[in-house]
Structure 1
Amino acid sequence: MAVCDKCGLPEDLCVCEEIVKESMRVKITLDKRRFGKYATVIQGLDGRDIDLKELSSLLKAKCACGGTIKDNVIELQGDHKEKVKEILQTIGYSSGLIDVK
């Protein structure tokens, strides 16, 4: 059985990612792109502690849109600020540390 290097618990009981989620400050902004299109930008996520690819896939599926990951920033096509905030809160991010602008 594998053991987590950070907390010392078995990997199936590891709580490192949950602790990181609760203390991470996330910034959600809206960016206007070419041709009048909008993109929702989620910043402040640390790719070393959280699986950004998995989080991005979840957000894209829940918002029914496309998107990408660039330099630890998730970009979603369209205006999804409030929906992203709700999704992040339901998966364990602290609502007080999520800034929507």
Structure 2
Amino acid sequence: MAGICNLCGLPDELCICQEIAKEQQKATISVERRRYGKMVTIVQGIDDSAIDLGELAKILKGACASGGTVKDRTIELQGDHKRKAAKVLEQNGYQVEVR
């Protein structure tokens, strides 16, 4: 039995709430240098109430072949993955700004 979306009341197969939420958000990608000269890619600006950041982090980690985590409503990826992360987010329907 299919589930029902809590926001729109449609069956999960017909629900477009996730797609609308993706289009309305702008993800900002930047790179920081951390301890011992390690680079970390930061993805921020995505509202975690409409999007599961853990699932998005899992997709990004797989695409970038790196480790990462979700901290304080941001996704942190180990290494400099600005271009790959931007490409994956754009393919998934997000607006992306690379700094």
TM range (shorter): over 0.9
Mind listing any 5+ residue stretches in structure 1 that lack a counterpart?
Answer: none
Mind listing any 5+ residue stretches in structure 2 that lack a counterpart?
Answer: none
Q: Letter of the aligned partner of 1:100 in structure 2?
A: V
State the partner residue of 2:89: 88
Per-residue deviation, 1:46: 1.2
**Which residue, out of 79, 89, 99, partners 2:97?**
99
Listed one character per residue, the Cα deviations across residues 35-55 of structure 1 (whole Å, up to 9, x for unaligned) are 111000000111111111111
Q: Tell me the distance in 1 between the aligned counterparts of 2:54 and 2:11.
A: 23
Answer with 75-84 or 1-10: which moved more. Answer: 1-10
Q: Letter of the aligned partner of 1:90 in structure 2?
A: Q
Per-residue deviation, 1:76: 0.1
1:53-72 correspondence to structure 2 within 5 Å = 53-72=54-73
Q: Tell me the distance in 2 between the aligned counterparts of 1:2 and 1:64.
A: 33
Q: Tell me the distance in 2 between the aligned counterparts of 1:71 and 1:4.
A: 26
Q: Tell me the distance in 2 between the aligned counterparts of 1:54 and 1:23.
A: 18
State the partner residue of 1:26: 27
TM-score, normalised on structure 1? Answer: 0.91
Secondary structure of the structure 2 residue equivalent to 1:11: coil
TM-score, normalised on structure 2? Answer: 0.93
Q: Which runs of 4+ in 1 moved over 2 A?
A: none
State the partner residue of 1:77: 78
